[in-house]
Amino acid sequence: GAGVSQSPSNKVTEKGKDVELRCDPISGHTALYWYRQRLGQGLEFLIYFQGNSAPDKSGLPSDRFSAERTGESVSTLTIQRTQQEDSAVYLCASSRGQFNSNQPQHFGDGTRLSIL
């Protein structure tokens, strides 16, 4: 498809389990972002990838959170030993990533994660 694709769209899991969320960016977009959106709240930046540069992990809330991306392709966000406060919608966005230019971010529909 032409847009950002995320899977699964919904994930329900038990507290303490690990989860892996996937994002497939728009082809040709070198920049990829993960955000968290808690119920009724705005977007919380988690991590940013730009090409082969070291990712900006400054938004990751704890060491239970990690993300990987190989080149300019798919990214996975992993949450280990999930806690109930991890329940949220996890949104992925991509952009062309050129510095200091208007390159708006295009969002996927998100993964709704529920921790029981």
Partner 1 sequence: GEDVEQSLFLSVREGDSSVINCTYTDSSSTYLYWYKQEPGAGLQLLTYIFSNMDMKQDQRLTVLLNKKDKHLSLRIADTQTGDSAIYFCAEKGAGGYNKLIFGAGTRLAVHP
Is residue 107 a contact point for partner 1 (CB under 8 A)? Answer: yes
Give dist(CA 2, CA 15) in Å, integer: 35
Out of 11, 24, 33, 46, which residue is the one contacting partner 1 (CB under 8 A)? 33
Is residue 25 a contact point for partner 1 (CB under 8 A)? Answer: no
Number of residues located near partner 1, criterion CB under 8 A? 28
Is residue 110 a contact point for partner 1 (CB under 8 A)? Answer: yes
Is residue 50 a contact point for partner 1 (CB under 8 A)? Answer: yes
Give dist(CA 20, CA 72) in Å, integer: 19
- Strands of 5-7's sheet in order across: 5-7, 19-24, 75-79, 65-69
Is residue 34 a contact point for partner 1 (CB under 8 A)? Answer: no
